[in-house]
Amino acid sequence: EMYVVANKYLQDGQYHSAAEFFEILNNKSPFTKNSERNRVLGIYSYYMDRNYSQAYAESNYFLQLYPRSEHVDWVMFMQAYSSYKEYRNWVQEKIGSDRARNDLSKLEDAYRKAQTLIDLYPKSKYVAAASLLQQKVNSIKARENMDVASFYFDKGAYIAAIKRSEFVLGEYSSSCLLPDSLDLLQASYAKLGLESWAKDIAKLKKINGFK
């Protein structure tokens, strides 16, 4: 009866109530034949309720209880994405704000969890989504490093700006910030009077179709 109520809340989109009922159900009947299914639905309810920390914790507990479950790859992806969402919550994502200056530990964890899924279950249908998540993480980290490089440039610390720009080029060459890092690198060389190096960067930008 408790499952019927919890599932009804879930189907109706009342995720907070669904999560509460699944939590009670899992606590009262932790080892029934349906407990694995109930925990999967509980994780989903927490996630849809934007309670990402609890979705992460429940995912971790599930993986300890059911390491051979057919749902392991899905749970691992949910754990990775919950960690990412804890860093970038739905409000900030909606308005397009950036949290690159904040603690990146959640992003690092999301990347690692996604990589674990890719390594352990390379044929999983969630591998593509996990790879996309890693690209999102790298994009935010690239932006953080570009913010730091721009800060150094504005302060006249051109060598530091160059080093940080080169780091972005080396570590995040596939990011959309590649043109920005080249622009800053060129400007920093010019400020230091290294005109030939600045011209080399200009040629590189032209070859790659950047203005």
pLDDT (tens digit per residue) in 102-129:
567 889 999 999 999 999 999 999 999 9
pLDDT at 149 over 60: yes
Distance (Å, rounded) from C-alpha 211 to C-alpha 207?
10
Dihedral sign for Cα 15, 17, 20, 23, please: negative
- Name which of 2, 15, 5, 64 is nearest 36 in CA terms: 64
More confident residue, 173 or 107: 107
Whether the model pTM is above 0.85: no
- Name which of 87, 6, 102 is nearest 52 in CA terms: 87
